[in-house]
């Protein structure tokens, strides 16, 4: 009976916190053994990963139904070390760092990081690349044309700016497939367009 009351109180506190922070994208509730993660406004297809300090994926889940996400994890079973949750929300990746030491999980709020992915669109022969870079990280853009193998036709690095916007005009006479590789924040992204 005491466990039922305790669990009910935990749920009341959790949902009260959830409602009070409706605009927040993350709520973490830690008890002695379990960690409850609540993420707001996820869309179908978003991904949730748990990675170690080397970037190896320890857990992966794809959101099947849009809405809020609540899941209980037992992170105390992980070996001592540094880890992070990675929430891939399409155009942004949020990283939530935590450490495990002697079965105690500590979230490092000050080390949370958001990476905005480059956004690539095309309209006829125009390719647009845009990216929000609040930390002014450089963005490397490489455009390749598939001419029996992808050959580099343009390369550029943009830095020292928070709002990156570029429009490239592809040669209308070069019908075929193009690959756009962008690199930023230690990540590489691939996009493909066809003329």
Q: Same domain for 63 and 150?
A: no
In tens, the pLDDT along 146-192 reads: 988 899 999 999 999 899 999 999 988 888 899 999 999 889 999 99
Q: For residue 30, what is the domain's CATH number?
A: 2.60.40.3080
Among 115, 135, 159, give the residue marking a domain's end.
115
Containing domain of residue 183, as a range?
Answer: 118-194
Among 100, 115, 130, give the residue marking a domain's end.
115
Indicate the number of domains in the chain.
2
Among 81, 115, 149, give the residue marking a domain's end.
115
Q: Same domain for 132 and 37?
A: no
The count of other CB atoms within 10 Å of the CB of residue 178 is: 22
CB 155 within 8 A of CB 137: no
Segments of 31-148 assigned E as strands: 35-42, 47-52, 57-62, 67-73, 81-88, 92-101, 104-107, 113-116, 119-123, 126-132, 139-146
In tens, the pLDDT along 72-87 reads: 888 888 999 999 999 9
């Amino acid at each position: 009976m005491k466990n039922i009351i305790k669990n009910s109180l935990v749920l009341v506190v959790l949902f009260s916190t959830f409602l009070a922070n409706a605009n927040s994208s993350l709520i973490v509730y830690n008890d002695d053994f379990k960690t409850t993660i609540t993420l707001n406004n996820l869309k179908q297809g978003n991904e949730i990963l748990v990675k170690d300090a080397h970037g190896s994926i320890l857990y992966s889940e794809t959101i099947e139904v849009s809405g809020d996400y609540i899941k209980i994890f037992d992170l105390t079973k992980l070996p001592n070390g540094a880890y992070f949750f990675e929430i891939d929300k399409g155009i942004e990746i949020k990283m939530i760092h935590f450490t495990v030491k002697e079965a105690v999980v500590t979230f490092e709020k000050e080390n949370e990081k958001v990476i905005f992915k480059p956004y690539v669109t095309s309209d006829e022969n125009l390719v647009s690349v845009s990216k929000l870079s609040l930390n002014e990280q450089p963005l490397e853009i490489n455009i390749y044309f598939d001419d029996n193998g992808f050959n580099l036709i343009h390369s550029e690095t943009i830095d020292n700016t928070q709002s990156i916007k570029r429009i490239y005009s592809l040669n209308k006479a070069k019908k075929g497939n193009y690959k756009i590789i962008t690199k930023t924040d230690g990540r590489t992204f691939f996009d493909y367009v066809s003329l």
